[in-house]
Structure 1
Amino acid sequence: MTEPSAGQPDPEIAALLDCLTGQRKHILGILDGLDEADLRRAVLPSGWSCLGLVRHLALDVERFWFGAVLAGDPAVIAALADEPDAWLVDPDVPAAEVFDAYRRETSLADAIITATPADTAPAWWPTDLFGKQNIHTHREILLHVIAETACHCGHLDAVRELIDGHRWLVLTG
């Protein structure tokens, strides 16, 4: 494996981060142009909204996996216990604030991702909530987050199409 240059992330981590960045752009892009009402509307029987999914990604995915699990940041770990259901967005919170929080969490996560070698073990794991840890390296955390974010991209693609017919990727021949 190629060693990273001074100040540069491991090439493997950089490639994985590029993939994750693409999925994050998809999350924001598929929602571009929706008004507050549509961003808050539950379209599926499970009841989540587009804003709720973005908030979930910010708190339960980016903050949890990188700030808490990978970095073991005590402040982030402590905040997890006080956080209400991430899928729920208070009606008084503007959509822009939810999107800003997602961008902020991805930026914080990127700093952790680029500073951490691929084989680094997680610093913390909530065994009381999730049982035995089955993700053992930074690489595995990144792959998990890429898969989860991509899955949620698909959820948002379907919901956006149901709302107004807009599709993120349309191939024409």
Structure 2
Amino acid sequence: MAAAKNHLHQCLTWAREEVLPKLDGLDEYDVRRPMTPTGTNLLGLVKHLAFYEASYFGFVFDRPYPEPIPDVDESFQNRDSMWVRPEESRDQVIDDYRSACRHADRTIEALDGDAVGHVPWWGPDAIPLFNVMAHMLGETRQHLGHMDLIREQLDGCVGYDVSPLSDRQQVEFAAQWRRTEEAARIAGGRPAVHENPQV
């Protein structure tokens, strides 16, 4: 169990390291503005992940996070943690995420993988730390996928270091877009389109 727990912790650490670079080079509006009809935005996702790290590795294992976080009760709605108020600074949201991850790491390092906590919103059963770590890894990777798509829509930057596409990559991805669009149109019985409006 110890080796598996350590491996899972390393995977979670790698995933976390990809979160904050998604904000690099963007102004205050672009990191905060809603990019989907449900309001998903980059800085809100960081805030949401900080809340989850603090909740799952604090409250769940009776190792309270030292800073105030929302109560997960009947009135709580997940979307409340996924947007950033004007008076909340980017630096504060980033600091909160880093602090929550450090607190989570202390919990992970202090407990065995089969140590149990209680996640009231999952039901009455006791939940091993290992399961909570796997859940948090899934949450982080899921929201990294959202962040990848948002960043690409904002300025075309892709990848771990959100680098702009090179001229060669732009040509290659334009060809990929055409192949994908053509296949979709054939499958859907729609007329062909030969240009990528995104490029």
Structure-to-structure mapping, 1:27-38, within 5 angstroms:
27-38=19-30
TM-score where L is the length of structure 2: 0.71
The residue that corresponds to 2:71 in the other structure is 81
> Match for 1:65: what amino acid?
Y
The structure 1 segments of at least 4 consecutive aligned residues displaced by more than 4 Å after TM superposition are none
* Alignment CA distance shift 1:50-1:112 (3 Å): same
Rg bigger for which structure? Answer: 2
The residue that corresponds to 1:159 in the other structure is 150
The residue that corresponds to 1:119 in the other structure is 114
The residue that corresponds to 1:90 in the other structure is 85
* Alignment CA distance shift 1:75-1:106 (3 Å): closer
The residue that corresponds to 2:139 in the other structure is 148
Say which is worse superposed, 99-108 or 11-20, in terms of deviation: 11-20
Distance across 1 between alignment mates of 2:34 and 2:48: 15
* Alignment CA distance shift 1:68-1:27 (3 Å): same
The residue that corresponds to 1:56 in the other structure is 48
Distance across 1 between alignment mates of 2:103 and 2:125: 24
Q: Secondary structure at the match of 1:81?
A: coil
Q: Calculate percent identity across the aligned residue pairs.
A: 34
Q: CA RMSD in A?
A: 2.7
Distance across 2 between alignment mates of 1:147 and 1:80: 22
Listed as ranges, the gaps of 5+ residues in structure 1 are: 2-9
Deviations 1:5-31 (A, max 9, x none): xxxxx3322211110011111111222
Deviations 1:117-159 (A, max 9, x none): 001111x332xxx252467211110001001100000000000
- Greater relative contact order: 1 or 2 (C-alpha under 8 angstroms, separation 6 or more)? 1
| 1:58–1:105 Cα contact (<8 Å) kept | yes
> Match for 1:25: what amino acid?
E
The residue that corresponds to 2:33 in the other structure is 41
| 1:16–1:142 Cα contact (<8 Å) kept | yes
Distance across 1 between alignment mates of 2:49 and 2:9: 16
Q: Secondary structure at the match of 1:154?
A: helix
Structure-to-structure mapping, 1:126-141, within 5 angstroms:
126=120, 130=121, 132-133=123-124, 136-141=127-132
> Matched residue pairs, number?
158
| 1:29–1:168 Cα contact (<8 Å) kept | no
- Structure 1 residue 110, shift from structure 2 partner: 0.4
TM-score where L is the length of structure 1: 0.80
Listed as ranges, the gaps of 5+ residues in structure 2 are: 173-199
* Alignment CA distance shift 1:75-1:54 (3 Å): closer
Distance across 2 between alignment mates of 1:133 and 1:161: 41
